[in-house]
Every structure is written in C-alpha cells, then in structure tokens.
Chain A
Amino acid sequence: MNTLRTVLIMVLLASLPSLVSAAELDQAKRDGLLGERADGYIGLVVPGAPADVVALAADVNQRRQAEYERIARENGIERAEVEALAGRKAVERTAPGGWIFTNGGWRRK
C-alpha cells in the first residue's frame, strides 16, 4: 500500500511540468506570441517575445520531435511524414483567432 501511494505521488509529480507547460502554451497562443506551423512545430509569431516563451517553444518543439521520431519509427515511415500530418492536424485544431504559419506566412485563423 505504501509503495502504491509512493508510485502514485511520483506519477503526479512527474506530470506536473507538462500540465504547467500546457497552460503556458495555451496562454502564449492566446496572447498571439506562439502559433502552430504546418511543419508540425510551434513558431514565434512576432520577434521580441519574452525569454520564457521562447524557451517554452524550444522545449515543446524538442519534445514533439522526439514523439514524431517515435511514431515514425514504430510505423516504419519517415519523421517528415509524421511532421506533415501533425502540422496539418495542429493547424486544423487551432482555435479561431489563433495564428498559424501556412503558405510562407503567419495568418490569423
């Protein structure tokens, strides 16, 4: 029972960073600082974003790349194909008013 509780607490603690960054990501998107790109990654919509937003984008992109790599490997396809599929999905799922990078430019959905 003790071990189970310890494990549960550790799982909860481990999930906190991703919960935090989820909220930060949403906020940065709503603020118009970050947007989804058709290549499957987060981009900076405008120059001069705060350092923590820039760092958040870099962190999220790094983790996304790892996930795309995993999915590509598991399915025997190229990571570029997963990136393109993810990018299209991310753009589709962007809320109205959000910024997306398609066809060479940022535009508001």
Chain B
Amino acid sequence: MPLPKPFARNGSHARPQAGRRPALAGIALLAAAACTPTVKVATDEPITINLNVNIKHEILVRVDRELDSLFSSGSGLF
C-alpha cells in the first residue's frame, strides 16, 4: 500500500486531503472574522468593538416594521 502523501514525520499517517484542510480552515476563519464583531485590544488604546452585525439587525427589524405598517395602512399601495 503506497504511502499517502504528505507523510508527516511525527508518525501520523496524514491523508491526502490533509494538505487542503489547513487552507480550508484558514479560509473559514477569514470568512468568520469578516462576519463576527472584531475586538482589538492594545495596552494604551481603548477597546474598539465593531457592532456592524448587530446594528444591521436592528435596521432590518425597523424596516420590516415600517413595511408592515405600509402594507396595512390602507394607502392603496398594496
């Protein structure tokens, strides 16, 4: 049975797909980082937190409510 490549030196039998896994994990991490709030911590600067995701949700809720009242307002638009 041919050795799977790459063959790790620590004795574990790395499967052929293992080479892609760290890359996939890296991409997934990047994607997750793009979506989640970012917390930057430094000794002198204040902590900054990106709340884009939360703010957007609030806006969606508000717009949804405004649309609801537009639909029901008897304005003849719907």
Q: Report which A residues bind B (CB closer than 8 A).
A: 17-22, 25, 60, 63-64, 67, 71, 75-77, 81-82, 85-86, 89-90, 93
Contacts and interface: CB of A to CB of B under 8 A. Distances in A.
Interface stretch (B5-13, B30-38, B68-76): B68-76
B63 A75 contact: yes
A11 B29 CA distance: 57
**Chain B facing A: main interface SS:** helix
B67 A60 contact: no
Contacts of B59: 75-77
Given A75-B62, A76-B59, A77-B59, A63 B77 contact: yes
A17 B75 CA distance: 9
Interface residues of B, number: 15
Nearest to A81: B63
Nearest to A74: B66
Which of B62, B67, B70, B78 has its CB near the most chain A CB atoms (within 10 A)? Answer: B78
11 contacts: A19-B74, A20-B76, A22-B74, A22-B75, A63-B77, A67-B70, A75-B59, A75-B62, A82-B67, A85-B63, A90-B78
Interface string B45-78: 0000000000000011011101110110011111
A22 B67 CA distance: 16
A19 B76 contact: yes
A82 B71 CA distance: 13
Contacts of B70: 67, 71, 86
A21 B67 CA distance: 19
